[in-house]
C-alpha cells in the first residue's frame, strides 16, 4: 500500500526585497518524521516554517501538496478560507515566544484550537497538561506564570487538536538555558506520543540531534544569494 506524505513540495521559494531567495528545493514529510532545520541567524529558517505552515505564499513554486490538497491552486484562487481551515485542522505551531492570549487562562488558551474545530476533548487536554507539568497553573493567566510554563502551554496548545504536523520555531529561544533541554525533551516526546510529524528550528543543533531529530541544513549560495533546503523523510 502506497504511503502518502503529509506534505510534498518542490522548489517553493520566497524572495525578500533585497534579492535574497529562500528555496525549499524538495520536501517530503511523513508521519513520525522529526526534522531539525539548522543554519546561521538570518538564513531563512523562520521563512521556511512560514511556507510550510501555509501562512506565507510562495513567490515561485513548482508544486505543493498538503494532505492531498493542491496548495498552489488554493493560493492562486485566493481561497484563504480553505487554507485557514487546513491550518486549523492539520497544523500545530509553537512560536519562539508563547504568544498566548493574555485575557484567557492557560487552559482556555490550550483549548482554543479544539473549540475552533468544535472538538472539545478535556481528557486529552488534561493528559497534555500532566505530561508538560502545568496542571497546577491551568487556571492562571499567562502573566501570572513563568516563561517556561507559558512555553509549555504553547506546546500543549499546538498539540491539543491532534495535528498531523507540528512546526516549532526556536521553541526554547525565550527560556533560560536550564529549561531548554527539558522543554525540548517534552516537545519531542509528546509529539512522538501523538504520532505527529515535527519540523523545528533551533540554534542548538546538538540538543536536537540528541533527541533523534534529523538535521536539515540551510545552504546559502553566496553567488546567487539563494538559501536552499531539502526535507526528505
Sketch out the chain's domains with CATH numbers: 7-94+163-232 (3.40.50.300)
The whole-angstrom distance between residue 229's C-alpha and the CA centroid of its chain comes to 16
- Mean local confidence (pLDDT), 151-158: 93
- Mean local confidence (pLDDT), 60-85: 95
Is residue 7 predicted with pLDDT exceeding 70? yes
The whole-angstrom distance between residue 176's C-alpha and the CA centroid of its chain comes to 21
pLDDT category, 189, cuts 50, 70, 90? confident
pLDDT category, 176, cuts 50, 70, 90? confident
Tell me what the pLDDT averaged over the chain comes to. 90
- Mean local confidence (pLDDT), 185-198: 86
- Mean local confidence (pLDDT), 211-223: 88
The whole-angstrom distance between residue 64's C-alpha and the CA centroid of its chain comes to 17
Is residue 177 predicted with pLDDT exceeding 80? no
Q: What is the pLDDT of residues 76-85, one digit of tens each?
A: 999 999 999 9
Grid cell, residue 223, equals 553567488
Quickly count: other Cβ atoms within 10 Å of residue 25's Cβ. Answer: 17
| The 226-232 sheet, strands edge to edge | 69-70, 63-66, 7-15, 21-29, 226-232, 219-221
CA distances from 172 to 28, 33, 50, 87 (A): 25, 20, 18, 23
Sign (positive or negative) of CA dihedral 53, 58, 64, 70 = positive
What's the pLDDT score for residue 2? 53
Q: Which of the pair, 97 or 74, is modelled with greater confidence?
A: 74
Sign (positive or negative) of CA dihedral 183, 218, 76, 18 = positive
Grid cell, residue 10, equals 518542490
Contact between 35 and 213 under an 8 Å Cβ cutoff? The reply is yes
pLDDT category, 229, cuts 50, 70, 90? very high
Amino acid at each position: 500500500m502506497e504511503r502518502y506524505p503529509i506534505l510534498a513540495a518542490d522548489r517553493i521559494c520566497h524572495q525578500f526585497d533585497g534579492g535574497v531567495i529562500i528555496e525549499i528545493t524538495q520536501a517530503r514529510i511523513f508521519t513520525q518524521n522529526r526534522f531539525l532545520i539548522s543554519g546561521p541567524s538570518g538564513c531563512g529558517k523562520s521563512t521556511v516554517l512560514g511556507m510550510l505552515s501555509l501562512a506565507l505564499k510562495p513567490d515561485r513554486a513548482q508544486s505543493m501538496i498538503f494532505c492531498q490538497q493542491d496548495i498552489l491552486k488554493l493560493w492562486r484562487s485566493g481561497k484563504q478560507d480553505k487554507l485557514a481551515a487546513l491550518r486549523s485542522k492539520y497544523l500545530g505551531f509553537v512560536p519562539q515566544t508563547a504568544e498566548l492570549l493574555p485575557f484567557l487562562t492557560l487552559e482556555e488558551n490550550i483549548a482554543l484550537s479544539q473549540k475552533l474545530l468544535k472538538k472539545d476533548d478535556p481528557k486529552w487536554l488534561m493528559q497534555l497538561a500532566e505530561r508538560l507539568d502545568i496542571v497546577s497553573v491551568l487556571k492562571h493567566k499567562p502573566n501570572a506564570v513563568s516563561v517556561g510554563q507559558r512555553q509549555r502551554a504553547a506546546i500543549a496548545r499546538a498539540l491539543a487538536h491532534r495535528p498531523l504536523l507540528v512546526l516549532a520555531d526556536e521553541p526554547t529561544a525565550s527560556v533560560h538555558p536550564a529549561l531548554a533541554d527539558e522543554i525540548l525533551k517534552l516537545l519531542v516526546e509528546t509529539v512522538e506520543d501523538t504520532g505527529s510529524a515535527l519540523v523545528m528550528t533551533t540554534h542548538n543543533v546538538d540538543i536536537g540531534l540528541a533527541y533523534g531529530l534529523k538535521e536539515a541544513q540551510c545552504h546559502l549560495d553566496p553567488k546567487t544569494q539563494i538559501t536552499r533546503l531539502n526535507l526528505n523523510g
